[in-house]
Structure 1
């Protein structure tokens, strides 16, 4: 008969099944055909339980560990070797608390709050020698100075995952359960050689086998790298995707490419940037350019969710709807009410008018101007206005955000900024544009600049759901997952199989592979990127620095081609800089 346990929402533990060693913790050794309540001390609440081979461990909400049941080798951790049919407290040094537990045949492991692994019972079997302790001790088999985030105990072997997603194993290896390509027992932990590009997120140890849950890292960059904008500790251009060197276990949740720099938001709400820093656009309080990510110094307590990058400046949006800006400010592109100082080295709040309704939900920027979208569908712009790209009916620069008057009834749901033009998609699937129009990037059938929003001439019956802009071309995804493009097309950046020095001033269909639908799209200076519903990345346009990521030096592509992704990887989003590309 096996043993089963459950933890309730109030921290109680119920168990049923075998109880011959007292593993149900009820004060007796009677098997239970129905759930019975474990006799935890008064006030103790369980957060997690683990049971195997007659031993049960309980992790409490305060980080303590209780054990009940089999204790032949000290696997309860209370300093004795006698079985117990009621929960007993594991004895640990003052200040040690646990965040995870694992139990198997006569051995127990605990993961401490500071990411260290402790063991008790027969916790370290190797070469026929058993490391035994009746109290938790730090596992000496593991390298020091490494933070761990997951653990699992097998019958005679152990597994652990580090904060930077590496897997380690130690103990018995007669069946290759350590995954190191041998059957040699290991008293010291060995790193498990996972497939290239894979990262461990969790591990589970069986009797004589191991399982790891992995993900494939896809924080990638390719193309021009003269300023370190690929973030891989190099300045060499790359015609194939290379990994961005984000620290530890961080992942991008949003990213953007600027002229010669890149910026990302991580899964812990931090902003990291790399590449050119001539104008302080990395936000690290220096003017030192970086070939690997450096943290932008967002104010304490802020949690970033989105970023965007211009030629010399960077913006970040927090989960509270606040916008911060830093870098070059020569024409007011930071939105701080002045062009002084001309360079801002750390994130500074953008000064929106008091009349703003809702909160900011989206930001966009390009060369020297910026835009924001609110939860109520309002659009604000600021910065350079030489060609009317602010959209307020003038060509006067704006050092603070100004609200744009969209046509009556139009509510914006998405925004994008090109070098000198601005785009929005509305709640009805229509699109409006304003600013420079020398190549037809406004898409209204003319090449006349406009300082107020004009309707993009979409094909009959076509509705849009997203939009983006390159230097002088515009891109959109329809509600059916197809792509449209208009504007500059000198090197095929519209993806319709042609080139045209004068550009195209009405939207044309991008020639996607048959059956492909898109979920994301991005425009660089003269190249374009897209993500399919299947997680593949397409690229087209200029390829002089390898920004199409297809592992060759073809000068340009006039139709979408697949980026040279690692087999099995799935992309979620893309971003394009001047001559480089980012994928996550």
Structure 2
């Protein structure tokens, strides 16, 4: 059976453990049936979402006003293939390739005209269709911007663009309401993976080449050369990427960008999985879990403000196979297939 554990910041119950206290020791999440197999867990400002292989999305936190995971009523009539959380909004993709959003959209995050009152919370629990004339396969959210990948390898963007995180030239109008195809080089590569930081975006092409745009204040766009990555993840101001090693099941991890909390210190072991939180990291090496970086809310399990080198946290969790890592804004989740004795 698959169990989900959480630790870190727990504002508005975003960890899904039935209370609102921050945790530096993992606790089991409540509400997701043990029979469900998880494929993704993501966190936003004070909310989280978990996607299952059966196409269901369970949520917890402020948008759904709950401290445990459950399926919101507005997500019950579709089969879902992807979900992403921004600061105060969430995007979902149906198995038909349609994109919907809900939450608070102050910068065009839901692909619609901004309300005259930017504090307006109308439609925060109403599914809003985001119109794209193509079949979308995945979405990614930054603080207040979003990008979407279609089945042809093209990327579309909308929302906040003050730092050029949508690939558009900076202008007096800092947001883009309607989704548009991202401008690119003369012969655009086929993109296979998309991800967003706080105010930047990162793309991985079919051949492993990385492309980034937006804020580069902390060097998060200074992609190591050469870099042919197999997978990427982004925090608020840092990036992690893996390249293949001789062991085809494991990858070498590279990190760059902001390092004020040691979030980009080297991880010396090959990784089986990894994920960036806002300013921290989780990684798996041979079924052992490590955490490092910003730890103010316990999201690396220590009692220190920052964990300055990778800390093994395996013993804090039940024995089993680690199947999934998730992270958000000072939040961490680990899904485990527990051993049956």
Q: 1:299 to 1:226 in 2, by over 3 A?
A: closer
Where structure 1 has 5 or more consecutive residues not aligned to the other structure, the ranges are 1-214, 283-288, 444-455, 496-509
Give the TM-score taking structure 2 as reference length. Answer: 0.87
Aligned length: 320
Q: 1:409 to 1:350 in 2, by over 3 A?
A: closer
Partner SS for 1:482: strand
Q: State the shift of 1:267 in Å.
A: 4.1
Distance (Å, rounded) in 1 between the aligned partners of 2:3 and 2:312: 15
Counterpart for residue 164 of structure 2: 388
Partner SS for 2:323: coil
Where structure 2 has 5 or more consecutive residues not aligned to the other structure, the ranges are 246-250, 336-341
The reply to whether residue 487 of structure 1 matches residue 260 of structure 2 is: no
Equivalent of 2:50, from 252, 255, 264? 264
Partner SS for 1:334: coil
Counterpart for residue 339 of structure 1: 114
Distance (Å, rounded) in 2 between the aligned partners of 1:436 and 1:547: 25
Within 5 Å, give how 1:504-583 maps onto structure 2: 510-513=266-269, 516-518=270-272, 520-532=273-285, 534-549=286-301, 552-564=302-314, 565-583=316-334
Partner SS for 2:81: strand
Q: 1:218 to 1:361 in 2, by over 3 A?
A: same
Q: State the shift of 1:488 in Å.
A: 0.8
Q: Greater relative contact order: 1 or 2 (C-alpha under 8 angstroms, separation 6 or more)?
A: 2
Distance (Å, rounded) in 2 between the aligned partners of 1:557 and 1:300: 40
Partner SS for 1:259: coil
Root mean square deviation, CA, Å? 2.0
Counterpart for residue 146 of structure 2: 370
Distance (Å, rounded) in 2 between the aligned partners of 1:224 and 1:416: 22
Distance (Å, rounded) in 1 between the aligned partners of 2:289 and 2:184: 33
Counterpart for residue 205 of structure 1: none
Give the TM-score taking structure 1 as reference length. Answer: 0.52
Which deviations, in whole Å up to 9, do the C-alpha atoms of 1:168-191 show, x marking residues without a partner?
Answer: xxxxxxxxxxxxxxxxxxxxxxxx
The reply to whether residue 397 of structure 1 matches residue 175 of structure 2 is: yes
Which deviations, in whole Å up to 9, do the C-alpha atoms of 1:294-323 show, x marking residues without a partner?
Answer: 322346641012211010001111222121
Contact 1:330 1:343 in 2 (8 A): no
The reply to whether residue 254 of structure 1 matches residue 40 of structure 2 is: yes
Distance (Å, rounded) in 2 between the aligned partners of 1:399 and 1:239: 39
Runs of 4+ displaced beyond 6 Å: none
Q: State the shift of 1:541 in Å.
A: 0.3
